[in-house]
Structure formats: C-alpha cells, structure tokens
Structure 1
Amino acid sequence: MNAPLQSLSIEPITAPLKGKVVLPGSKSVTNRVLLLAGLARGTSRLTGALKSDDTLYMAQALRQMGVSVEQPDATSFIVRSTGALQAPDAPLFLGNAGTAVRFLTAASALVRGTVVVGGDANMARRPIAPLVAALQRLGIDATAPSGCPPVTIHGTGLLDGGEVEIDASLSSQYVSALLMMAGCSRRPVRISLSGPHIGAQGYIGLTIAAMKAFGASVASTDDTSWTVAPGGYTATDFRIEPDASAATYLWAAQALSGGDIDIGFPIADFTQPDAAAWRVIRSFPHMPAVIDGSQMQDAIPTLAVMAMFNATPVRFVGIANLRVKECDRTHALATQMQRINPGYAREEGDDLLVFPDPDPSATAKNVRIETYDDHRIAMSFALAALKIPGLSILNPGCVAKTFPAYWDTLRALGVRIHPGD
C-alpha cells in the first residue's frame, strides 16, 4: 500500500478554468437518509450518495447495529432493516464525523442495551453536552463525562415521548438528532429551543424533508419548536442531491479564474443552506463588506479565501460555531492567511477580518499550509494557490472526509498539482 502524500504543491493558473465536473453527493443528506433507512422497516435504495469517510463511518455503524448496508456502485447504498437497531458488540468508532456521532447518539436511545458512540482525537474535543442533556431530560440514560464524545447510552428499546428544550447554539445537528429519533417514539415528542440562536437553521429543514420522505409527520408553528408524531419510518427510494458545500469550491474557482465550470446541477435546485454562498461568490470581486456566515457555515472557508482577492476588506460575522468544527476554523483561516502575508487577516472576538492584497503575487513564497486535518481548510486554501505562487497543502488526503476526488477534479479543470517534498 502506498504511503499517504504528505503535501501537494499547486501552480498558479495562467488561464481561465473551464470544464464540466461531477460533484459528490451531499454529505448532510446522505448521513440523514442512511440513518432513516436504518430505522425504517424494509429495503431503501439511496442513489446519488456520497461515499466518503463520514458516510462510510455511518454505514459501518449501522451494520454493527444489525442493519444490512450494501454498496452496489460508487454512488448508491441499499439498506435493509427490520426497523429496529440492535446493541453493537463493540463501541461505534466514527472518526471525526460530526453528523454521524450526533445522529447516532440520539438514535442509540432506541436500542435495547448499551451503545458507546465515539471517534478520533479530534472528535473527543467536539462538544456534545447539550444533546446529552436533552436526552437525559427525556428520561434516557446517556452520559458524556467530558462534555464531548465518547457518549455512553443505556437504551431500553423504547422512547415514551414528551417535551424537551435544547440549547442548539453550537450546532443545529443536536436538533436534527432529536427529530429523527423522535419519529420512533410511542407518543408525540415536542422539541423546542431554549434560546433564540441556532446554528444553520436551514439544516433543520433538510432533516424534516428527509423524515417526511420516509413517512414521518412533523409539525411546526415557528422556527423554534417542532412536534413529531409517532409512527416510525417506511422504507423508500431516495435520490440525494449533489453537495452544495463542495460546489462552493468550484464556484469560487470559476470566479477567481474568470472561467466557466459546469457542475451539472441547477443552482436553484439546491436545498442545502450552503448554496446561499453562490449569491456572495457571484458578486466577486465586490463581495459585501460584512458577510453573515451563521446560515452557511461550511461555506465560510471558501468565502474567506476568496476575500483575500476581493477589491475591499471583508468582515465575517455570525461564525462563532466555526470554532467547534473539525478544528477552530476561524483561527486556522486567520493563522494560515497570516503565514502567507501578515496583513491578510485578523480575528476580532469571533469575527474574522480579511484584508486583500492588491498584488497577491508579491506575498510570501514557499508557504506550506497547515490543514489541521480539516478537509475544508485544505480545499479552501487550494483556491488561494490558484493565485499565489509557492503554496503547498499539507495532509491533502484529509479531503477524503467529504470530497475524495477533489484534487483529481481540479486537475481535470487544468490545475497543475504535484506531489510535495
């Protein structure tokens, strides 16, 4: 087996990038429908799916819990389930897959027996206490002594229903996890926010749409509370849309190069929140002076790197949640920009300020970008390398988390990429 590449060097482009690319399926949708298919009695066929580290961790965990998950081709899963999850023989290891850890933490309450949900060293630093506290308020025996994974759940195989408030300011995934679990309750479950703030509200809509596709009934009178009716899920065939977060890198590459890149999917058809980044990207090089990233968090690394080449400075606000992603993305972005040019960026509280350089070709040479094992840091700084000579990306294999073909996709568009030293 070949050793993983330590770095990749990227040559600045000399011509507009043009071509047609195939985007991976949405990670967010794939991991939602994998779980829902696992909770549904019967056979579900999921097409257009993402096959990446995060989704393969979810698929393997479901197998450990007695669900049959087959992979007939590169973009499909066939899921067969009795509609009930079984206690696994060993802890569930989910790497640094936040969706998988949070969704399975809640779903494990439906298991009769003990489930331990954990991941790698990075996941052991990502907060999950608000979700655990909400499960406890529903009468579920769940503990996470450090406030982060691993989480131990002693399930009874039943969820009686009830009402629960949750603090979702750190992540909307907490709410999505409770919603999907609630579909299997014996009585209605009402979930409400304990405060007005929620990370990426749009992902709640994504969850509810997926639940309804699998037969669930979810009612809501506003954006702060939801009632899920009992009844469980029904197996179904589901087509997964392309990943909007992945699309942002291609939209940005097109804008930065003045090119023409066909992603093969109409922008108006995306239902994922990060698709909102398109409106900002198309304004380049006159991006807004203030960009609120609260509802398109995974697109912020893309937009921040683009801002290095904007006509005027940009302040990113509403991004406090970026500090508890795969890494502290705000600090990572600022630090790596400053290594290229000390004047490029600074942090102010939880805001990120980016100051363009009128002559990016005159910035520091031979900078090796630290990616912090974070796929979005790697993919976004590859965009900077399209304009700035001498940049290389460390640990390029981390893109396998959500976009395994990223480097090949850039090469197919004409970007020259070489193994680093």
Structure 2
Amino acid sequence: MGRAKLTIIPPGKPLTGRAMPPGSKSITNRALLLAGLAKGTSRLTGALKSDDTRYMADALRAMGVNVEEPDDTTFVVTGSGKLTAPAGPLFLGNAGTATRFLTAAAALVDGTVVVDGDAHMRKRPIAPLVAALQSLGIDASAETGCPPVTVHGTGKFQASKIQIDGGLSSQYVSALLMMAAGGDRTVDIELLGEDIGALGYIDLTTAAMQAFGAKVERISAVIWRVEPTGYTATDFHIEPDASAATYLWAADVLTDGAIDLGTPADAFTQPDAKAHAVISAFPHLPAVIDGSQMQDAIPTIAVLAAFNETPVRFVGIANLRVKECDRIRALSTGLNAIREGLATEEGDDLVVAADPSLAGQRLEASIDTFADHRIAMSFALAGLMVDGITILDPDCVAKTFPTYWQVLASLGVTFEDDAG
C-alpha cells in the first residue's frame, strides 16, 4: 500500500547536484507501439519505466508482441508486423497516451479489442477519436463517449481522409497518424478549427514514425499524408522527459540552486521544453502565459507563480480540465489551501495572485493530489519554500516519475513520511 501523505521540510538552502529526469513518457509510449507494430526486433534505450509505460507494454504483450526488459531503461520489442486480438479487455489504468494510441491501433487487429481503464479514465473523453475511426469505416464504439471502447478491426479502411477537431487532444491526432501507416491505403489526416492543439506532440509522433520506416508528410498547415508502409524494427534512443525536467528547473530557480540535469534545455525536442524559457524568467514571469503548447508544464509554472513578484494569468489551458483530473480545479484548490485567494478560476483561465512573502512562512496545507502525478510533483515545489506543505497520496508520482521523491532527497530535500 502506498504512503498516505508526505510532508516536505523546506531545505532553507540552494538545491545543488546532478538530477537526471527519467525518459520521456510521450516518446516511450510512441516508440513501444511502433516497435510493437513493426516486424523484427527493436531495442528502445533511455526508456521510462512507469505505470503508464507498463500498461502499454503489457497491452502489447496481450496482443502477441514479445517485450523484454533487460534493465531499468531498456525495452527489447519483437513483433511480427501484426497485432493479434487479446484474450480479454486491455486495462490501461489512467494512461491517456496508451488508451488513445491503442484505441486507434486496434483497427489494425483482425478481431475485437476492448480498450478500458480505471475510474478516472472512464471519465476522460474519447468520442472524437471513435468518430474519426468510424469515418474510415472502422467498427468502433464507446457508449458513454469515454472508455471502454470496443473496436472490431480488419486492418482495412473504406476512406482515404480523416477530419478531426485540432483543438481537442493532440493524442487523438497522434493515434490516427500512427495507425494510418499500418492500413491498406494512403490516408490524409486533416485538422479542423482555428485552435490547433499541441502541435509539438504531433511533431514528436511523426519523427518517431519516420524512425520506424513510415512515410508521413505534412502537405499543408493542417493536413498530414500517411502512406501504408507499415513499420520496420529499429534501435531507438529516448530522450529525458521534458515535463519531468520542469520540476527540477523550477526547484533550481526557486532555491537559487545549481541543479545539473545532464541534458541542456535546448537539446529537448518535446513541447514542454518551451517551459524552460518561462521558468528562467522567475521571479518576473510574464503577466499572461499561454499554456496551449506546453500543457503538462502548466501545473509546475502555476505553483512557481505563487512566489512570483506579480500576478500571472494562464490562458489556453481548457484541455487541463480533462487530463488525469481537472487540473485547473486541482491547482486552484491546492493554491487556495496554502493561502485563501492565491488562485482564481475565470472560465477556463487560471489567475495566480502571486505573493513572494509566502517564502519562509509556516502555512499548514494538505494538498489533495486527486491521484494526479503532476499535481503531486508541482505542489512539492511549494514545500521547498513554505513550511507545512503535506502532499496526499504522494506515490501517485509512479505514473511518470517513480523516483521523484528520491531525486529531491538526493538534492538535499528532507521529508516527514506517513506510510498510511
């Protein structure tokens, strides 16, 4: 059983040392799926081993792929070029990438696949992805508009074009792109609407697809063309997780520390690496921060903003309401637990009032993480500066950064532990 709570003791000194973020969750789950769809053996190095990637690996095993784990950062994946129908439903916890990606990939299976998750995942929308699959003539259904999803796949498509609202989760688009290369005809995927979501994640997807031999081309600002090449096994190195790096970058500026991540900020290709420039501006963060292209970094920056010199308004973050939890509500709830009035929700914007005088105070606050790893890791940052911050359900960090508390400890942070 996980710990019930963890109280952070402010270090009262700069945090210094070497702290390596784990491998990228986003890239690991893309690479696992592509290796599983490929014919032959792929070696994935620098990979993340966490709840989310284990769900993906176990689902691939259930569909006939051999996945070996010779060490803590390597997957060796051997596939036949074809996924087979699993014996029962695929259970994917609250792993958004695994659920969205496998819902689309199920169309390539000759048989029936049920994609399901935990109680949180059963509240996360998937209807737009199901509708996009149906537009290709794929028999897919989700009665509630959320998982479970049932897909009766054949590997064949009855249309050559998919249109999907680009303002929705970029995971839908990535799922369709990766699936399309395994089909029987060239497919164009077109994003509709003016607000195109996290484009950087689509770039991550197409780069990974190309590494595994797919032919995918962006033929206009909103259209990608995917040829039916299938995938070829390859050796693939996964860069560190930029979303995980944001906590360390923020801890560095908050404590005036010297934390070496081992990878320079400009070497990351993930969208959340854009957060480094914003975080580096602390304590003079911009008055308005658009989170649309770095959504997973917003919890980090929102907690950082509590200690900024001036208030910060976060815009372009409506999708945070349908992540592992309603992150806008979780952030405002947690910040206001530290000091009433510190955060306000205005529509889908989050306004953080900012109060640099919080640093050094004792303010007892129990932070409800809503079982969300990013809420737990972000509010740990408040505990570096404010005495009395207790994180509830701290072990939910296992979703993407299982060693988070050990990494902070290695930098000089201490805790009061409650095994629960």
Q: Equivalent residue for 1:95? A: 93
SS at match of 1:181: helix
Contact map agreement 1:340 1:363 (CA 8 A) in 2: no
- Please report how far the alpha carbon of residue 268 of structure 1 lies from its aligned counterpart in structure 2 after TM superposition: 1.2
Question: 2:193 corresponds to which letter in structure 1?
Answer: G
The answer to whether the Cα contact below 8 Å between 1:48 and 1:240 also exists between their aligned partners in 2 is yes
CA distance in 2, matches of 1:258, 1:246: 19
The answer for the alignment partner of 2:340 in structure 1 is: 342
Contact kept? 2:16, 2:258, Cα under 8 Å: yes
Among candidates 369, 376, 382, match of residue 384 of structure 1: 382
CA contact (8 A) 2:41 2:77 kept: yes
1:203 maps to which residue? Answer: 201
Cα separation, 1, equivalents of 2:356 and 2:18: 31
Which whole-Å CA distance do the structure 1 matches of 2:158 and 2:49 have between them?
A: 35
Shift of residue 361, structure 1, vs aligned partner? 4.7
Return the alpha-carbon distance in structure 2 between the equivalents of residues 258 and 106 of structure 1.
45
Shift of 1:88: 0.2
Tell which deviates more after alignment, 218-227 or 328-337.
218-227
Q: How far has the Cα of 1:151 moved from its partner?
A: 0.2
Which letter does structure 2 place at the counterpart of 1:155? G
C-alpha distance in 2 between matches for 1:340 and 1:267? 30
Distance across 1 between alignment mates of 2:315 and 2:105: 33
From 133, 136, 139, the counterpart of 1:135: 133
Distance in 2 separating the partners of 1:249 and 1:20: 14
- Partner secondary structure for residue 390 of structure 1: strand
**Following TM superposition, by how much is the alpha carbon of 1:343 offset from its aligned partner in structure 2, in angstroms?**
1.8
Q: How does 1:157-176 map to 2 (within 5 A)?
A: 157-159=155-157, 162-176=160-174
AA aligned opposite 2:60: L
Are 1:123 and 2:130 an aligned pair?
A: no
Structure 1 residue aligned with 2:265, among 264, 267, 281? Answer: 267
The answer (yes or no) to whether the contact 1:161–1:186 under 8 Å persists in 2 is no
Residues 9 and 414 in structure 2, CA contact (< 8 A), matched pair in contact too? yes
After superposition, give the CA deviation of every residue in 1:253-300 in whole Å (9 maximum; x if it has no partner). Answer: 000000000000121110000000000011000000000000000000
Counterpart among 383, 394, 397 of residue 396 in structure 1: 394
Q: Quote the offset at 1:367 in angstroms.
A: 1.2
Q: Does 1:329 align with 2:327?
A: yes
> Structure 1 unaligned runs (5+)?
none
CA distance in 2, matches of 1:362, 1:35: 46
- Partner SS, residue 34 of structure 1: helix
Select the residue among 206, 214, 217 that pairs with 2:215: 217
Residues 282 and 308 in structure 2, CA contact (< 8 A), matched pair in contact too: yes
Q: Distance in 1 between matches of 2:155 and 2:187?
A: 16
Equivalent residue number for residue 234 of structure 2: 236
Partner of 2:244: 246
Does 2:76 match 1:72? no
Following superposition, the deviation at residue 168 of structure 1 comes to: 3.3
Task: Provide the secondary structure at the position in 1 that maps to 2:47.
Answer: coil
CA distance in 1: counterparts of 2:399 and 2:375, whole angstroms: 12
Deviation of 1:158 after TM superposition, in Å, equals 2.8
- The aligned length equals 419
Q: Distance in 2 between matches of 1:165 and 1:364?
A: 53
Letter in 1 for 2:240: P
CA contact (8 A) 1:9 1:419 kept: yes
Cα distance in 2 between the residues matched to 1:343 and 1:359: 14
1:180 corresponds to: 178
CA distances 1:342-388 after superposition (whole Å, capped 9, x unpaired): 12110000000001124215767321110000000000000001011
Q: Which moved more, 1:158-167 or 1:377-386?
A: 158-167
The alpha carbon displacement at 1:21 in A equals: 1.2
- Give 1:40's aligned amino acid: A
The 3-state SS of whatever aligns with 1:386 is: helix
Cα distance in structure 2, aligned partners of 1:232 and 1:161: 18
Counterpart of 2:81, as a letter, is G
Question: Which SS does the other structure have where 1:234 is aligned?
Answer: coil
Corresponding residue of 2:112? 114
In 2, Cα distance between equivalents of 1:335 and 1:363: 19
The aligned runs of 1:284-303 (5 Å cut-off) are: 284-303=282-301
Q: What is residue 85 of structure 1 aligned with on the other side?
A: 83
Superposed CA deviations along residues 113-134 of structure 1, whole A, max 9, x for unmatched, are 1100010000000000000000
Sequence identity (%): 65
Q: Quick check: 159-168 or 6-15, which moved more? A: 159-168
In 1, Cα distance between the equivalents of 2:35 and 2:158? 22
After TM superposition, give the deviation of residue 221 of structure 1 in Å: 2.5
Structure 1 letter corresponding to 2:278? V
Note closer, same or farther for the CA distance 1:358–1:256 as it changes in structure 2 (3 Å cut).
closer
Structure 1 runs, 4 residues or longer, greater than 4 Å off: 361-364
8 A Cα contact 2:66 2:77, kept in partner:
yes
> Match of 1:328, as an amino acid?
D
Cα 1:326–1:237, aligned 2, differ >3 Å: closer, same or farther?
same
* The 10-residue stretch of structure 1 (246-255 or 168-177) with the greater mean CA deviation from structure 2: 168-177
Tell me the alpha carbon deviations over residues 143-164 of structure 1, each in whole angstroms, 9 at most, x when there is no partner: 0010000100011233355111
1:58-116 CA distances to partner (integer Å, 9 max, x unpaired)?
00000000000000000000000000000000100000000000000000000111100
With normalisation by structure 1, the TM-score equals 0.98
Q: Kindly provide the CA deviation profile for residues 172-201 of structure 1, in whole angstroms up to 9, marking residues without a partner as x.
A: 000000000000121100000121223211
Alignment RMSD? 1.1
CA change 1:263–1:361 in 2 (3 A) is closer
Q: Distance in 1 between matches of 2:203 and 2:77?
A: 23
Secondary structure of 1:381 counterpart: helix
Compute the displacement of 1:396 (Å): 0.4
In structure 2, stretches of 5+ residues that fail to align are none
